[in-house]
Structure 1
Amino acid sequence: MRHHASTLLAASLLLAAGAASAADTTIPASAVKTAEQLRDRALNDGTAYAVLQSLTTEVGPRLAGGSNDQPGRDWAVAKFKALGFDKVYTEPATYPLWVRRHESGSIVAPFPQHLVLTALGYSPGTPKGGLTAQVIAFDSIAALKAADPATIKGKIVYVGYRMQRSQDGHDYGMGSMVRVAGPVIAASKGAAGYLLRSAGTDAHERIAHTGVTGFRDPSKAIPAAALSNPDADQLERELAYGKPVSVQLDLDCGIVGEYTGANVIGEITGSKHPEQVVAIGGHLDSWDPGTGAIDDGAGVAISMAAAKLIHDLPQRPDRTIRVIAFANEEMGLWGARAYADRHAKEVTDFMLGTDSDLGAGKVYRISASVKPGARHAIEQIADVLKPLGVAYDPRRPGGGGSDLGAMHAKGMAALTLDQDATHYFDWHHTSNDTLDKVDPKELAQNVAAYAAWSYMAAQADGDFGSAPGAFAGDGAEE
């Protein structure tokens, strides 16, 4: 009897284990095979590069609310339709309209020198005739925070943090903080203006990297600009003499009201569950000095091309593939926030999502924020991506990318596909953000990764855990 009881117990445990595994999300073998075919086909498909060439040539720079904003949206609508998307539409996003007209600067004492610089987003202009003031330098945000306001009042604050190259681009975390938070801190301490060493990793290019500041209230903002790395070196050499250094800034820029743009969306409609979506995309806007090839025309092109490959299969996917070309990511994620607010109540219909916004370097790592029962499905996706050189890190969260991170914050299950950013910040936010920086083969590798995982998510048996607030505090925001 004892042996019989133990046998019954073992059998019951096996049944329980079988019931638990049956509840787990898995990818059918047929879908895995199709995803492998999509992956391999994408490596020899030139759609993404053709799309990116079209965008950067026919539209060019796409400053949010600028002269190419509407042409950019018109281009996206036409391109979605030309690629055969089943449904194409727009959703509005309203934001402050910031304009750049003219910018210049120079060291006026002790040794006069011209400075190559660029105004930062939401910076106000200088008074007519420019602003001339003594410079006070800090080597970090921490030092600026600790400074006595009396030493700063009426001066131009300079922060000289220098970014270093890395595959994951981790130095941009501090570089962007110096650019975003630094001007706000300086203004709160009575500074007359703000300068920083560009948040970029190029050492010898005399080109400044623009980007947004944390200013939202124009009445509390001060003129703010970024110096090219060689010009930051020049300023620091003069400061090293120990004599007072004065700089003149002449910036003609600022917020001039509001503008209503739009997210542009294309869908490949699901055949079985059209209301359930796999979300991918990139942001359509760019900064104005370059043509927005790596930031983020590449993301738009990757997601359009991945969905196009799925569209061209003999049968539509079970669930909808939704590609979103987001509005105004650069100056505050306005399109992303508008999208997340609009679709928050539908979060359980979002199977899985992430966007591409780190250029066109090869994807080398994947991570995910999903329910525990969907981990096996993520492992299946990772196995299909492994031949592309993509490693799976089960310990890292999946944030959803810069724009779809807003939907992840609402509870959408999300991936992160990390791209090689070793040289991305050499060109980021500069006039050097142009098509020649994109390697067609590396771009195609991105498409292969996105096409494969998107299709597998669309065909999954089960869900990935999307629900209101499902992933709060998962660390993806860090």
Structure 2
Amino acid sequence: MRRQFRLTALAAGLVFASGAFAASSTTIPADAVTAATTLRDKAMADNTAYDVVASLTTEVGQRLAGSPADQRGREWAVAKFKALGFDKVYLEPVTYPLWERHSEHGAIVGEHAQNLALTALGYSAGTPTGGLTAEVVAFPSLQALKDADPATIKGKIVFLDAKMTRQKDGHDYGIGSPQRVQGPVIAASKGAAATLIRSAGTDANSRTPHTGVTGFTDPAKATPAAALSLPDADQLGRLLALGKPVQVKLDLDVGFKGTYTGANVIGEITGKKHPNEVVAIGGHLDSWDLGTGAIDDGAGVAIAMAAAKLIHDMPQRPDRTIRVIAFANEEMGLWGGRAYADKHAGEVAKFQLGTESDFGSGPVWRMTASVKPEARGAIEQIAKVLEPIGVAYDATKPGGGGSDLSQMHGKGMAALSLTQDGTTYFDFHHNANDTLDKIDPKELAQNVAVYATFAYMAAQAKGDFGSAPGAFAKDGAHD
């Protein structure tokens, strides 16, 4: 989602020269900057977010959308918002396909028989009773699969083997995610019996597979799909390199089970001057079912809740409302984010600024923004307060709003991207090792400081950041 920001307001520089631009610029008053600095420092030493994510991952645990824990998660969120002192707590329904996982097993059969460490992918079909056995055909990339002759694939198990490496900004997920999402759909369209992928992960020494959603949308067209742990993908690759046919047996008891209605859970700290104008922050409440959803995305929910609570505890209320959204079912298709954007598209001009935390709990190191040209000065004011805690402002890139709030950005909401250090994020993403011990309380507190500071300063700004229907349609950050 990160692309070069395209400056579209050349004429603004000419207006600025006449003095009119300065008069209409969005600014943050000096007293708000001072208060934000105090808020930042307090947040850096605050443990609220860690307490919140510990509560969620311990008392609710894994939160697969549509599972019994989905309801428990919503009840937990309502209770936690209230316990933290939010003024208003409410639910907005979200309906989506229900997919269930019951059991999964895979093995190489024949001369080199051995079990495989794998996990079914979201929206995968189950295998027939007794399992499915077929020969494996491998492809080193998604493009190679796209270019392949269907005759070489029909009736076989496609194995996609593109690799990810660790990156601070996580950009190699641009390799792993399309392989997982698009790969099974393309393989099925070419007659494959099933699909195996190298997990979209970077934990090369861990025999722990990573799940995640596929692009199947029609249960009638879905085929079995699973991810291998990275060592198991290596093992399968070595066997195929011997030049002999390799057969795999898959036994997946998973699949679509109708539809389910969950909800986005929303808490608000009401603004004193402009209560109908909102700064939107949040995370997604659901998680995959292998770990306990600590970094993905219990941390994001906790960061947003804690940031808003610290603003609530300030001597005076913020001028605008701070809205925290715990989104439903992000993992299987941004269902909560899309439902929220559809419901609130007509109110987009009332959204002052927004972004979501959904990249773990590593420290925020970069801020980018999609705002109107007249608000760039206010963004620079925010950046100056965040700079001492390690955040650099890159004015050349757009802000996307995070995973779910990217949908509101697509409707025209002014947005930030607050990029966390994701060097090890994909070691634990979507696998059984996504647990509370992966969170460093001090790094989590730095995230809270960033979110509390920007949210408060945006709430106190004199002027807006440019939210309007279709305002950022060309910046590419919400694609």
Amino acid at match of 2:180: R
**Residues 107-116 or 43-52, more deviating:** 107-116
Partner Cα distance (1:235, 1:378) in 2 = 50
Distance apart, 1:109 and its partner CA: 2.8
* CA apart distance, 1:245: 0.3
The 8 Å contact of residues 109 and 244 in structure 1, kept in 2 or not, is answered as: no
Q: 2:169 matched to which residue of 1?
A: 168
CA contact (8 A) 1:110 1:243 kept: no
Matches within 5 A, 1:69-218: 69-218=70-219
Amino acid at match of 2:124: S
Contact 1:364 1:417 in 2 (8 A): yes
Could you say which residue in structure 2 is the equivalent of 1:421? 422
- In structure 2, give the amino acid aligned to 1:375: R
Aligned-residue offset at 1:17: 3.2
1:402 aligns with 2:408: no
Amino acid at match of 1:271: K
Name the Cα RMSD after superposition. Answer: 1.0
Match of 1:464 in 2: 465
1:258-308 alpha-carbon deviations (Å, 9 max, x no partner): 000000000000000000000000000000010000000000000000000
CA distance in 2, matches of 1:473, 1:197: 34
Over 3 Å counting, the alpha-carbon distance change for 1:335 and 1:20 in structure 2 is same
Structure-2 separation of matches of 1:224 and 1:148: 20
Superposition deviation, residue 180 in structure 1: 0.1
Verify the 8 A CA contact 1:126 1:252 in the aligned structure 2: yes
Corresponding residue for residue 306 of structure 2: 305
Give the whole-Å Cα distance in 1 for the aligned partners of 2:345 and 2:21: 30
Match of 1:48 in 2: 49
What is the alpha-carbon distance in structure 2 between the residues aligned to residue 243 and residue 71 of structure 1?
50
SS of 1:132's partner is strand
Corresponding position of 1:8: none
TM-score (norm 1): 0.97
Between the aligned partners of 1:396 and 1:301, the Cα distance in structure 2 is: 27
- Alignment coverage as a number of residue pairs: 466
User: Which AA in structure 2 matches 1:163?
Assistant: M
Report Cα offsets for 1:390-440 as digits up to 9, x if no partner.
000001000000010000000000000000000000000001000000000
**Match for 1:475: what amino acid?**
G
Number of the residue aligned with 1:344: 345
For residues 15-46 of structure 1, give each alpha carbon's deviation from its aligned partner in whole angstroms, at most 9, with x where no partner exists. Answer: 97333201000000001011111100001000
Once residues 133 and 17 of structure 2 are traced to their aligned partners in structure 1, the CA distance between those partners, rounded to angstroms, is 76
C-alpha contact 2:63 2:287 (8 A) present in aligned 1? yes
Q: Which residue pairs with 2:288 in the alignment?
A: 287
Name the counterpart of 1:296. 297
Q: Report the CA distance between 1:247 and its aligned residue.
A: 0.1
Please give the alpha-carbon distance, in whole angstroms, between the structure 2 residues aligned to 1:20 and 1:421.
Answer: 38
CA distance in 1 between counterparts of 2:373 and 2:77 reads 37
CA offset digits 1:350-399 (Å, max 9, x no partner): 00000000000000000000000000000000001000110000010000
Partner Cα distance (1:367, 1:15) in 2: 23
8 Å contact kept, 2:409–2:478: no
Residue 439 in structure 1 maps to residue 440 in structure 2: yes
- SS of residue paired to 1:68: helix
Letter in 1 for 2:159: Y
CA distance in 2, matches of 1:360, 1:91: 27
Which residue number in structure 2 is paired with residue 3 of structure 1?
none
Tell me which amino acid in the other structure corresponds to 2:246.
Answer: V
Equivalent residues of 1:207, 1:431 under 8 A apart: yes
Structure 2 gap ranges (5+): 1-13
Give the % identical residues.
73
**Counterpart for residue 362 of structure 1:** 363
Give CA-to-partner distance per residue, 1:29-80, whole Å, 9 cap, x none.
Answer: 0010111111000010000000000000000000000110000000000000
- The equivalent of 1:10 in structure 2 is none
Letter in 2 for 1:296: D
C-alpha displacement at 1:113, in angstroms?
A: 1.0
- Aligned twin of 1:237: 238
Distance 2:274 2:339 in 1: 25
Deviation for aligned residue 1:173 = 1.0
| Amino acid corresponding to residue 320 of structure 1 in structure 2 | T
- Tell me which residue corresponds to 2:67: 66
Determine helix, strand or coil for the equivalent of 1:287: coil
Structure 2 contact 16–22 (Cα < 8 Å) conserved:
no
Q: Does structure 2 conserve the Cα–Cα contact (< 8 Å) formed by 1:118 and 1:226?
A: yes
Residues 91, 427 of structure 1: CA spacing in aligned structure 2 closer, same or farther, 3 A cutoff? Answer: same
Tell me if the contact between 1:65 and 1:261 (Cα under 8 Å) persists in the aligned partners.
yes
Amino acid corresponding to residue 473 of structure 1 in structure 2: K
2:272 and 2:318 in contact (8 A); partners too: yes
AA paired with 2:220?
Answer: S
1:298 partner amino acid: A
Q: Are the aligned partners of 1:286 and 1:292 in contact in 2 as well (CA < 8 Å)? A: yes
- Per the alignment, residue 255 of structure 1 pairs with 256
- Please give the alpha-carbon distance, in whole angstroms, between the structure 1 residues aligned to 2:240 and 2:156: 14
Equivalent position of 2:8 in the other structure: none
The worse-fitting range, judged by mean Cα deviation, of 400-409 and 107-116 is: 107-116
Distance, in Å, in 2 between the alignment partners of 1:143 and 1:473 is 31
Letter in 1 for 2:408: M
Secondary structure at the counterpart of residue 354 of structure 1: strand
Greater C-alpha Rg: 1
CA–CA distance in structure 1, aligned partners of residues 17 and 382 of structure 2? 26
Per-residue Cα deviation, 1:77-96 (whole angstroms, up to 9, x for no partner): 00000000000000000000
Runs of 5+ unmatched residues, structure 1: 1-12
3-state secondary structure, aligned to 2:19: helix
Distance 2:245 2:238 in 1: 12
CA distance, structure 2, for counterparts of residue 119 and residue 15 of structure 1: 57
Question: Counterpart of 1:411 in structure 2: which amino acid?
Answer: G
Q: TM-score, normalised by structure 2?
A: 0.96
> What residue identity is the alignment partner of 1:20?
F
The one-letter amino acid of 2:412's match is: G
Secondary structure of the 1:110 match is coil
